[in-house]
C-alpha cells in the first residue's frame, strides 16, 4: 500500500508528469536516488502504470466529442466490441451493466463523420448519442487516501 511519501510523489506527478527527480525530491523531502527508487517500486507494483501527455483533440480538427451508449443486438456483443476497438475515433469505452453494454467517448471532426461511424454500428447495435458541450471535470483520480484514513 502506498504511504504518505508515495502519495506526495503521485500527486506531484499527476500535476506534471514531466517533473524532474530534483523537483520531486524537493516536494517529498527525499534525495533524488531515494525518489528514483520509490518510483521504480511504484512502477513494479503496478501503482504507476505510465506517464502521459495530454493533447487537445481540437488542435487536430476533432471539434466534436460525443458520448455514445451502445446496446448490441442479440449475439453481437463481441462483434461490436471489436468494431469499437478498431475505430480509432473511439477514445474511451467502458463495458457497463444495465440496458446498454458500452458507454464510449468518440472524437470526430464533423457531424458527417459521426454519422458515418454510427452507421457502421447500426446493423449490430442500437446507439444513443449525446454531444459533449463542456467537461467541467476532466478525467481524474479520486483523492489518494492512505489505508486507515477516511
Does some domain include residue 139? no
Range with the lowest mean pLDDT among 40-44, 64-68, 137-141?
A: 137-141
Does some domain include residue 9? yes
The percent of residues in the chain predicted with pLDDT above 90, rounded, is 86
Helix axes 111-121, 77-85, angle to 10 degrees: 150
What CATH number did the domain enclosing 112 receive? 3.30.70.920
What is the extent of the structural domain holding 40?
Answer: 4-44
C-beta contacts of 76-83 below 8 A and 24+ residues apart: 76/124, 76/125, 77/101, 79/124, 80/121, 80/124, 80/125, 83/120, 83/121, 83/124
Does some domain include residue 74? yes
Number of domains in the chain: 2
67 and 122 together in one domain: yes
* pLDDT digits 0-9 by tens, 10-48: 999 998 999 999 999 999 999 999 999 999 999 999 999
Amino acid at each position: 500500500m502506498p504511504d504518505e511519501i508515495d502519495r506526495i510523489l503521485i500527486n506531484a506527478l499527476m500535476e506534471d508528469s514531466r517533473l524532474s527527480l530534483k523537483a520531486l525530491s524537493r516536494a517529498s523531502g527525499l534525495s533524488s536516488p531515494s525518489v528514483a527508487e520509490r518510483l521504480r517500486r511504484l512502477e513494479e507494483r503496478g501503482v504507476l502504470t505510465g506517464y502521459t501527455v495530454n493533447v487537445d483533440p481540437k488542435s487536430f480538427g476533432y471539434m466534436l466529442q460525443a458520448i455514445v451508449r451502445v446496446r448490441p443486438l442479440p449475439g453481437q456483443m463481441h462483434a461490436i466490441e471489436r468494431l469499437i476497438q478498431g475505430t480509432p475515433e473511439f477514445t474511451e469505452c467502458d463495458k457497463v451493466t444495465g440496458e446498454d453494454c458500452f458507454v464510449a467517448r468518440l472524437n470526430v471532426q464533423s457531424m458527417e463523420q459521426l454519422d458515418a461511424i454510427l452507421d457502421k454500428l447500426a446493423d449490430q447495435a442500437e446507439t444513443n448519442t449525446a454531444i459533449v458541450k463542456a467537461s467541467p471535470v476532466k478525467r481524474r483520480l479520486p483523492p489518494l487516501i492512505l489505508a486507515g484514513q477516511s
